[in-house]
Amino acid sequence: MQRNFLETDRVTVAFGGIVALKDVSLSVVQGKTTAILGPNGAGKTTLFNAVAGAVRPTSGKVYFQGADITNASPSRRCHAGIARTFQITQPFGGLSVRENVMVALAARGVTMKEARAEASTYIDFVGLNAKAEDPARILSTGQRKRLELARALSTHPKLLLLDEVTGGVDRPSIPELLDVIRRLREERGITIVVVEHNMEVLLGLADNAFFLNRGEVVVTGSVEEVADHEAVRRIYLGDADVAA
């Protein structure tokens, strides 16, 4: 059977009694950018965790490039080409920003010298040059978010999962970051899945979208279609006229 680039097949994730994802089946087309929308607690991060391997689904399967990766470890998935950022940032506090970025390169077997040089590219991308040699533990919220992105990029992903990557980043820098992401997609053909609450950002970035509510996919379509959907406006965007 021909499978899409990334597919989840009736994935359910339950934490004790709480069902965070319920039979979620969705597929992501290679080269496209997909947005996951949904109110808080809808299960977006959990979906990312299931795809990246940080949680095991209670039932269901995850396929990546046709292969079943449901039981693969996060590191194997990374080597297969899946990278993610964390919504709640997780820097390597004792390493410098540059070394943070070098970790993934080293895990791929790149020599230290090459890794050092390549890291500069990503640090440049996210605008952290000035902090490159500082320990990551002193970074502020926005700086940490940028670091997350740089690290994810350094894994040479085929699939990039961005969990609120612009949250906390100052507005003037967002266009630049988006530029970087867009360029990557065009130059390297990276497939991107984003969780993002900033609709402006989404409209300029994503091709299609899934709307998740209480662990279930409710609406699918292009970003515009989804954003205009009645349920999305009511539950998610909270438009006064509809919500009333």
Partner 1 sequence: MLRLEGVNVHYGATRVLWDVAMEVGAGEIVAIMGPNGSGKSTVLKAAMGLKKPSSGVVSLDNEELQNKSATLRPKRGMSIVLERRRLFPRMSVEENVMLGAYTRKPSEARETFRWVLDLLPEIKPHLNATAGKLSGGQQQMVAIARGLMANPRVLLMDEPFLGLSPAMVKTVCSIMQMINERGVAILFNEQNAKLSFSMSHRGYLLESGRVVLSGSGEEMLDHPEVRRVYLGIRETAA
Partner 2 sequence: MLEVFGRRPYLVLLVMALLLAPVPLLQLNDYILHVLTLFLIFAVFATGWNLTLGILGLKTLGHHAFFAVGAYASAMVSHYFGVSPWITIWLAALIAALTGLLIGFPILRIRSMPHVAIVTLAFAEIVRLVFANLKEITRGELGFWGIPPFDPIQIGETTIRFGLGNAAGSFAVAAIMFVGVHLALLLLLRGRCGLTFLAIRDAEAAAESLGVRLAAWKLFAFAISAAVVGLSGAVYAHYVLILTPTSVAGPEMLISLLAMIIVGGVGRFFGPIYGALLLTVTSELLRDFGDFRMLLYGALIIVFVFAAPAGIAGLKPRFSRKETETRKTVEAV
56 touches 46 (CB < 8 A): no
88 touches 95 (CB < 8 A): no
Q: By C-alpha distance, which of 127, 4, 117 is closest to 66?
A: 4
Residue type (1 letter), 64: F
The 143-162 site mask, x for binding ligand ATP (CB under 6 A), equals x-------------------
Cβ 134 to ligand ATP shortest distance, Å: 7
Among 90, 120, 121, 141, binds Mg ion (CB under 5 A): 141
**Which of helix, strand or coil describes residue 196?**
coil
Cα(95)–Cα(106) distance, rounded to whole angstroms?
14
Residues 155 to 214 in contact with partner 1, rule: CB under 8 A: 164, 167-173, 175, 197, 199
Q: Residue 43 or 57: which CB sits closer to partner 1?
A: 43
DSSP string, 211-244: EEETTEEEEEEEHHHHHH-HHIIIIII--HHHH-
Cβ neighbours of residue 169 closer than 8 Å, sequence gap 6 or more: 142, 145, 146, 177
**Contact between 43 and ligand ATP (CB under 6 A)?**
yes
Residues 16 to 75 in contact with partner 2, rule: CB under 8 A: 52-54, 73-75
**Contact between 45 and partner 1 (CB under 8 A)?**
yes
**Contact between 40 and ligand ATP (CB under 6 A)?**
yes
**Contact between 87 and Mg ion (CB under 5 A)?**
yes
Taking residue 97's Cβ as centre, other Cβ atoms within 10 Å add up to: 29
**Contact between 44 and ligand ATP (CB under 6 A)?**
yes
Residue range at the interface with partner 2 (CB under 8 A); choices 58-66, 170-178, 186-194, 210-218 = 170-178
Q: Count residues contacting partner 1 (CB under 8 A)?
A: 38
Q: Residue 76 or 188: which CB sits closer to partner 2?
A: 76
Q: By C-alpha distance, which of 26, 23, 72, 29 is closest to 52?
A: 72
Token pair in block for residue 150? 């740089």
Token pair in block for residue 121? 């590219």
For β-strands 18-28 and 6-15, DSSP reports them as: antiparallel
Residue range at the interface with partner 1 (CB under 8 A); choices 5-13, 112-120, 135-143, 150-158 = 135-143
Residue range at the interface with Mg ion (CB under 5 A); choices 38-46, 71-79, 98-106, 148-156 = 38-46
Token pair in block for residue 82? 């899946």
**Which of helix, strand or coil describes residue 79?**
helix
Q: Which residues are at the interface with partner 1 (CB under 8 A)?
A: 15, 18, 38-46, 87-88, 131, 138-143, 146, 164, 167-173, 175, 197, 199, 235-238, 240, 243
Q: Which residues are at the interface with partner 2 (CB under 8 A)?
A: 52-54, 73-76, 78-79, 83-84, 86, 90-96, 99-100, 102-104, 106-109, 112, 115, 127-131, 133, 135-136, 151, 154-155, 170, 172-173
